[in-house]
């Protein structure tokens, strides 16, 4: 390989699109590639290795914002937590390889606004990978990619809406296959006022249903009083909020504080989404559990169900 390669070659070697590479550089300052005499990006072997490693970590379900600043020594342990990304000694395809193919097929269908094609890919992926891998390795990373492309203007709001609508219907049909009993714990899922991007909340609701929780999905952009009112009415054990965009809403910290203040002390508040880390000081102050992956959410819910996580205290007025 030459010492430096073009962005097209970098995309081929890392499995990322050129668009995503540019977006990561611009938004997260992930790399500062050299430039050719004509001003084109040129990537070194070290650049390729870092991009590949970051891409593999993101495909486990972690947000790019939560890992872009990490050094290589801190990234490898994140991969070690899942066997899905270990290479087969026989060189046979891994679930990660299959998931990448399905993600590419989903994006192609979405760009063409082919809803029937989206349904077909979802069905094939669910059969080939199983429920958890479908959520964590296909739908969640595709949603993140769509969000990046929407913010960069490469996809329209119509594309995002079609994907969300299709996912909501598909996941709704799937989650009904996991019946609960009256003894199953209850969780309420939604997004605070101003947070209109609901796909993260939909995925969280599906993941909770998959591990046996009774889920009530409220939808996007609800006021604090409405969210807490539904949680109280249902006598839910946990409330899960998704925060995706924007990351700088001046009213959201007060909303979050109010939600925690109005909730009973025995109700757990779980918060995730790609913009959650932007509100970490507030979330930490109110004792919310901050999650970056669906796997982490499921682990928290299992711990809550076992009683190994204590309920969070209300903030001081």
Which domains, from first to last, does the chain contain? 4-83 (1.10.1660.10), 95-174 (1.10.1240.10), 180-306 (3.40.50.280)
Distant-in-sequence, close-in-space partners of 138: CB < 8 Å, separation ≥ 6 = 99, 102, 103, 106, 125, 129
Q: What is the DSSP string of 160-184?
A: HHHHHHHHHHHHHHHHTTS---TTS
Q: Greatest CA span in the chain, whole angstroms?
A: 68
Q: How far apart are CA 294 and CA 60, in angstroms?
A: 9
CB atoms within 10 A of CB 293: 20
CB atoms within 10 A of CB 231: 25
Is the pTM for the entire model greater than 0.75? no
Q: How far apart are CA 286 and CA 97, in angstroms?
A: 40
Structure tokens at 64: 């790019």
Q: How far apart are CA 316 and CA 203, in angstroms?
A: 32
Reading the chain (317 residues) residue by residue, the pLDDT tens digits are 445 888 988 888 888 888 889 889 988 888 989 888 888 899 988 888 889 888 888 877 677 888 888 887 777 767 655 544 444 444 555 677 788 889 999 999 999 999 999 999 999 988 888 887 888 889 988 988 888 888 888 899 899 899 999 998 988 877 766 666 778 899 999 999 999 889 889 999 998 988 889 999 999 999 999 999 999 999 999 999 999 888 899 999 999 999 999 999 999 999 998 889 899 999 999 999 998 778 788 888 988 988 877 665 555 45
In the Cβ-directed half-sphere of 303, how many Cα atoms lie within 13 Å? 13
Distant-in-sequence, close-in-space partners of 273: CB < 8 Å, separation ≥ 6 = 63, 195, 200, 201, 241, 242, 243, 244
Q: How far apart are CA 221 and CA 218, in angstroms?
A: 9
Q: How far apart are CA 267 and CA 286, in angstroms?
A: 13
């Amino acid at each position: 390989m030459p010492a430096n390669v073009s962005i097209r070659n970098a995309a081929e070697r890392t499995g990322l699109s050129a668009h995503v590479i540019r977006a990561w550089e611009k938004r997260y300052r992930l790399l500062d590639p050299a430039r050719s005499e004509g001003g084109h990006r040129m990537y070194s072997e070290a650049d390729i290795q870092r991009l590949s490693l970051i891409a593999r970590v993101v495909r486990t379900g972690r947000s790019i914002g939560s890992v872009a600043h990490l050094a290589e020594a801190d990234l490898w342990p994140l991969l070690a937590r899942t066997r899905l990304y270990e290479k087969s000694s026989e060189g046979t395809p891994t679930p990660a390889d299959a998931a990448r193919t399905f993600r590419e097929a989903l994006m192609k269908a979405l760009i063409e606004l082919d809803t029937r094609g989206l349904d077909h890919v979802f069905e094939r992926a669910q059969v080939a990978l199983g429920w958890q891998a479908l959520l964590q390795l296909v739908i969640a990373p595709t949603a993140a990619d769509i969000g990046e492309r929407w913010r960069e203007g490469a996809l329209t709001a119509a594309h995002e809406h079609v994907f969300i609508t299709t996912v909501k219907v598909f996941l709704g049909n799937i989650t009904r296959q996991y019946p609960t009993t009256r003894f199953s714990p209850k969780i309420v899922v939604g997004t605070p006022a101003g947070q209109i991007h609901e796909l993260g909340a939909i995925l969280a609701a599906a993941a909770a249903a998959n591990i046996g929780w009774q889920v009530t999905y409220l939808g996007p952009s609800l006021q604090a009083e409405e969210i807490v009112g539904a949680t109280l009415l249902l006598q839910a054990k946990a409330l899960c909020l998704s925060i995706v965009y924007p990351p700088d809403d001046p009213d959201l910290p007060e909303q979050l504080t109010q939600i925690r203040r109005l909730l009973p002390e025995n109700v757990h508040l779980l918060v995730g989404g790609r913009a959650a880390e932007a509100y970490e000081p507030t979330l930490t102050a109110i004792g919310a559990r901050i999650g970056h992956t669906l796997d982490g959410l499921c682990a928290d819910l299992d711990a809550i169900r076992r009683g190994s996580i204590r309920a969070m205290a209300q903030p001081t007025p």
